[in-house]
């Protein structure tokens, strides 16, 4: 009954398909941005060996790890008071079978579009003005917004990037997920209060983030260069500031974070 197939095909005309977005434009912009930034996509599979090595370093240093930050055990419990951020010195490696590609900064867009996609108004460091570049990426069920500020006095260039400061923000919809910070013995971790909000400053040796999404996938996010990283909870969002600057400079910048003025249409 060819008529039946024809009727089924006719259903296609009944569907009000959502307008097709300009993917050629957005994909082209991402590819161009990657070439401009001088790097290939930072998505890479996390090797089992790499995770094992990172975790092995932690297993070997229970005492050294405690020495790296005062009152370690109690502080760790307090850190867990960061509702959406957990910092763990992991005793055993995560299941390697679940490992998949990591995350990059995402697609380039405008501040207004980022706010629309993320469902919140990104906070801006008041003294720096509007970011030079805004990027968004999906992170599980949430949208991650990254503000890129070009190098300037006091904010030297992050290695391999035309950026002096990255401000990453994810809404609290991460609740229910785990955000783990795997840090080796060379990483100094310091608890801070910034403008009344709890936070953690990581500096020293490189470290790696492992996100565990609701589907059980482990997502690696290695900060662009492990200069100094401040992870901060503000309201229902988790913010991360990365800069090639002393921790005190990040504290200053974080203290100025405010919801920016409405972006121009």
Partner 1 sequence: MARLAEDADLIGRAQRGDDDAYGMLVERYQTIAFRTAWLVCGDAAEAEDAAQEAFLKAHAALPRFRPGAPWRPWLLRIVANEARNRRRSAGRRTHLAGRVAGLDAAPPSAPGPEDVLLAGEERDELVSALRHLDPPQRSVVLLRYVLELSEAECAAVLGCRPGTVKSRASRALARLRVELEGGDA
Q: Contact with partner 1 (CB under 8 A): which of 36, 39, 43, 49?
A: 43
Residue window 215-244: x/- pattern of binding to partner 1, with contact defined by CB under 8 A: x-x---------------------------
User: Residue 12 Cβ, how far from partner 1 at the closest point, in Å?
Assistant: 5
User: Residue 162 Cβ, how far from partner 1 at the closest point, in Å?
Assistant: 19
43 or 48: CB nearest partner 1: 43
Cα gap 194→251, rounded to integer Å: 6
Give residues with Cβ within 8 angstroms of 57, minimum separation 6: 184, 185
Cα gap 51→59, rounded to integer Å: 12
Residue 110 within binding range of partner 1, rule CB under 8 A: no
Residue 160 within binding range of partner 1, rule CB under 8 A: no
**Number of shown-chain residues binding partner 1 (CB under 8 A):** 36
Residue 140 within binding range of partner 1, rule CB under 8 A: yes
Helices and strands in the chain: count of H runs, count of E runs: 7, 13
76 or 134: CB nearest partner 1: 134
Phi, then psi, of 67 in degrees rounded to 5: -75, -25
Convert 15-35 to b/e letters by CB count within 10 Å (16 or more is b).
Answer: eeeeeeeeeeeeeeebeeebe
Residue 20 within binding range of partner 1, rule CB under 8 A: yes
Identify the CA nearest to 138 among candidates 179, 181, 107, 178.
107
* Cβ-contact 202, 227 below 8 angstroms: no
Choose one: 23-31, 161-169, 199-207, 244-252; the region binding partner 1 (CB under 8 A).
23-31
User: Residue 154 Cβ, how far from partner 1 at the closest point, in Å?
Assistant: 34
What is the rounded (10 degree) CA torsion for 66, 67, 68, 69? 70
Choose one: 18-26, 158-166, 201-209, 244-252; the region binding partner 1 (CB under 8 A).
18-26
* Cβ-contact 208, 102 below 8 angstroms: no
Where along the sequence are the contacts to partner 1 (CB under 8 A)?
A: 1, 4-5, 7-9, 11-12, 14-18, 20-24, 26-28, 30-32, 35, 41, 43, 107, 117, 138, 140-141, 213-215, 217
């Amino acid at each position: 009954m060819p008529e039946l197939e024809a009727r089924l095909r006719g259903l296609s005309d009944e569907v009000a398909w959502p307008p097709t977005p300009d993917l050629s434009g957005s994909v082209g912009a991402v590819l161009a941005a990657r070439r401009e930034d001088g790097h290939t996509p930072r998505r890479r599979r996390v090797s089992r060996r790499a995770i094992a090595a990172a975790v092995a370093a932690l297993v070997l240093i229970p005492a050294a790890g405690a020495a790296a930050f005062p009152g370690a055990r109690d502080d760790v419990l307090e850190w867990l008071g960061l509702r959406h951020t957990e910092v763990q010195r992991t005793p055993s490696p995560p299941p390697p079978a679940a490992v998949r590609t990591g995350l990059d900064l995402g697609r380039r867009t405008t501040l207004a579009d980022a706010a629309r996609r993320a469902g919140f108004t990104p906070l801006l460091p008041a003294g720096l003005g509007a970011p030079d570049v805004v990027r968004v990426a999906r992170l599980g069920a949430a949208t991650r917004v990254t503000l890129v500020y070009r190098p300037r006095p006091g904010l030297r260039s992050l290695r391999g990037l035309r950026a002096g400061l990255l401000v990453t923000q994810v809404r609290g919809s991460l609740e229910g997920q785990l955000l783990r910070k795997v840090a080796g013995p060379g990483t100094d971790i310091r608890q801070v209060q910034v403008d009344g909000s709890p936070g953690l400053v990581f500096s020293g040796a490189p470290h790696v983030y492992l996100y565990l999404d609701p589907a059980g996938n482990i997502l690696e996010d290695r900060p662009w260069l492990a200069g100094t990283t401040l992870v901060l909870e503000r309201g229902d969002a988790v913010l991360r500031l990365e800069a090639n600057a002393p921790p005190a400079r990040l504290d200053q910048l974080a203290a100025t974070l405010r919801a920016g003025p409405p972006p121009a249409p």
